[in-house]
Chain A
Amino acid sequence: MARDAAHKRMIELLGNNEPLPVDLRQEIIFYAGPCPPKPGQVIGSTAPTTAYRMDPYAPAMYEYGVKGTIGKGPRRDSIKEACREYGAISFAAVGGLSAILSKCITAVEIVAYEDLGPEAIRKLEVRDFPVLVAYDSYGNDLYEQEIAKYRTLGDGVT
Chain B
Amino acid sequence: MREIHTDEIRDTVARLCMEACYYLPEDILAGFKKAEAKEVSPLGKTIINQLIENAELAAAEHVPYCHDTGMTVVYAEIGQDVHIVGGSFSDSINAGVRKGYQEGFLRMSVVGDPLLRVNTNDNTPAVIHTDIVDGDRIKFTLLPKGGGSENMSAMKFLLPGEGTEGVKKFVIETIEAAGGKACPPVVVGVGIGGTFDKVTAIAKEAVLREVGVHHHEPHIAELERDLLEAINRTGIGPQGLGGVSTALWAAVETYACHITALPVAVNIQCHAARKKSAVL
Contact = CB atoms under 8 A, between A and B. Distances in A.
Of A44, A49, A92, A147, chain B has the most CB atoms within 10 Å of the CB of: A147
B67 A74 contact: no
* Chief secondary structure at chain A's binding surface: loop
A43 to B, nearest CB: 9
Given A37-B105, A95-B148, A153 B234 contact: yes
A79 to B, nearest CB: 13
Contacts of B119: 116-119
Nearest to B242: A146
Contact of B57 (A94, A99, A158): A99
Given A35-B67, A118-B109, A98 B233 contact: no
A46 B58 CA distance: 12
Contacts of B63: 35, 38, 41, 44-45, 99, 102
Interface residues on A, range: 35 or more
B53 interface: yes
B201 to A, nearest CB: 25
Interface string B57-69: 1100101111111
A150 B231 CA distance: 12
A99 B54 contact: yes
Interface in A92-140: 92, 94-100, 102-103, 116-119, 132
A44 B67 contact: yes
B251 interface: no
B105 A36 contact: yes
A142 interface: yes
Contacts of A143: 179-180, 240-242
Interface stretch (B75-83, B164-172, B213-221): B164-172
7 contacts: A33-B68, A36-B105, A45-B64, A96-B65, A98-B54, A116-B119, A143-B242
Interface of A: 5, 32-38, 41, 44-47, 49-50, 52, 72-74, 92, 94-100, 102-103, 116-119, 132, 142-143, 145-153, 156-158
The 8 closest A-B pairs by CB, nearest first: A146-B242, A151-B235, A73-B181, A150-B235, A99-B58, A96-B66, A153-B233, A73-B180
